[in-house]
Amino acid sequence: MKKIIILFLFSILFQSCFSYRTVDFEDIVSEKKQKFEVAKFDRTNIKGRLVSKNENTMILENNQGNQTILKDEIYEVKVRKFSILKLVAGAGIAYVTAAIVAIGFLLGAF
């Protein structure tokens, strides 16, 4: 029972409450230091926080340092946003699963 409680707590702690939505390159506001995921035509993805943007390039900062991406290389740009629905749904499903497992242990089904 103790292991199941620990597993349940880890599932709540490590669930993702963020999602990415596609934006147009011209609509990106450089004053907001948002997190982006950029898909390039060469099938590489770069994630990072926006440092600066002009009409031809955008610079993202991640754990590899600053990475400059040309507008011509960009296939798709996605911005990260917080999703309260994912948080509520994930926590709700985790609680229901834990309740079912706890009832199963109490009834001796497991």
Residue 71, in any domain of the structure: yes
Per the structure, the count of domains in the chain is: 1
- Given a cut of 90, whether residue 75 has pLDDT beyond it is yes
Residue with tokens 């669930």: 15
- Given a cut of 70, whether residue 110 has pLDDT beyond it is no
Residue 4, in any domain of the structure: no
Residue 70, in any domain of the structure: yes
Residue 58, in any domain of the structure: yes
69 bridge partner residues: 58
**What number of CA atoms fall less than 13 Å from residue 50's CA on the CB side?**
21
What CATH number is given to the structural domain containing 48?
Answer: 2.30.30.100
Range(s) of the domain holding residue 53: 15-82
- Given a cut of 80, whether residue 20 has pLDDT beyond it is no
Residue 10, in any domain of the structure: no
Average pLDDT for residues 33-45, to the nearest whole number? 90
Average pLDDT, the chain: 80
Copy the structure tokens of residue 102. Answer: 């706890």
Residue type, 33: K
82 bridge partner residues: 18
